[in-house]
Amino acid sequence: MKIISTPAEIASWSVEHHAAGETISLVPTMGFFHEGHLQLMRQARALADLSVVSLFVNPIQFGPGEDLDRYPRDFPRDASLAEQEGVEVLFAPEAGTMYPAPALTRIQVSQLTEYLCGADRPGHFDGVCTVVAKLFNLIKPEYAVFGRKDYQQLAVIRRMVSDLNWDVLVVDHPIVRETDGLAMSSRNKYLSISERQTALCLSRAIRLARRMVREGLRDCAEMLSGLKKMIATDDSARIEYLMVVDKGSLIPQSIITPDSLLALAVRVGSTRLIDNTVLFDDEE
């Protein structure tokens, strides 16, 4: 596996391989790999001739007081895991080369960013879109693979790609869970043993919501009040949002439909965790 650390070098690598008629898939990440990332890499490898994983803790998607400085990092372990997955290139730039100062440009997707994490984390998706746009411009992948755990991120990136006429197919991958249901996330590393137990309230809420739907409940307010009660039984869990939205527009709904997405963000201690489910899908 080749490790590339500058935008100029990854851009010329991409030009060279496209000229040889090869296709490229990209998995954008912030590192500290877990099984969820490894599954994205496997999917990326199956899609194209060559796969690139980017590893960059993108400073401009973190707000003031968020966890940029303590975001978990372990480059040697990540490099070895990516290599074991058969990835061709690990692109790991420094912030200074990605954003030669001052970085004045941001890409903003409106409407889809109005609720959920977009409401809680002002500017977050501008930072995500800007870095993903830069990665697409540098690497020009035919495919880019993202996890569904960050459902809003996936929707926003798909819209950016379509609005800006990029020739890249955005491929999504199901949420990968621990055996007890907790959605895998690099931020799970922050959890103490007792917080790890509390964190199960997110996947429990999802299972309860899906059961309510199977039993015929269609009123969102009733569902959300039941879920809030369940989460509130542990006072180290603080709901940041808990919403039913349309899975396409991400606008809140009052009645559950086949297009309903339940999404939640819960703070457990100082750790913010997210999860979601399309309530009628039977795969999760």
Name the residues annotated as catalytic. Answer: 37
**Residues between 26 and 55 that touch ligand PAF (CB under 6 A):** 28-30
Helices marked H in the chain — which ranges?
7-19, 35-47, 75-84, 95-98, 117-120, 124-139, 151-163, 193-198, 200-214, 220-232
Shortest reach from residue 114's CB to ligand PAF, in Å:
18
Alpha-carbon distance 38 to 70, whole Å? Answer: 22
Alpha-carbon distance 154 to 64, whole Å? Answer: 23
Shortest reach from residue 37's CB to ligand PAF, in Å:
9
Alpha-carbon distance 215 to 240, whole Å? Answer: 27
Binding-site size, ligand PAF (CB under 6 A): 10
**Residues between 175 and 234 that touch ligand PAF (CB under 6 A):** none
**Residues between 91 and 130 that touch ligand PAF (CB under 6 A):** 128
State which residue, 39 or 58, has the beta carbon closest to ligand PAF: 58
What are the backbone angles phi and psi of residue 214, rounded to the nearest 5°?
A: -60, -35
Binds ligand PAF (CB under 6 A): choice among 39, 58, 188, 277: 58
* Among 11-19, 25-33, 103-111, 160-168, the segment contacting ligand PAF (CB under 6 A): 25-33
Alpha-carbon distance 246 to 251, whole Å? Answer: 6
Q: How many CB atoms lie within 10 A of CB 115?
A: 18
Alpha-carbon distance 213 to 39, whole Å? Answer: 29
State which residue, 132 or 155, has the beta carbon closest to ligand PAF: 132
Question: Does 132 engage in binding with ligand PAF (CB under 6 A)?
Answer: yes
Shortest reach from residue 208's CB to ligand PAF, in Å:
27
Interface with ligand PAF (CB under 6 A)? 28-30, 58, 61, 128, 131-132, 150, 153
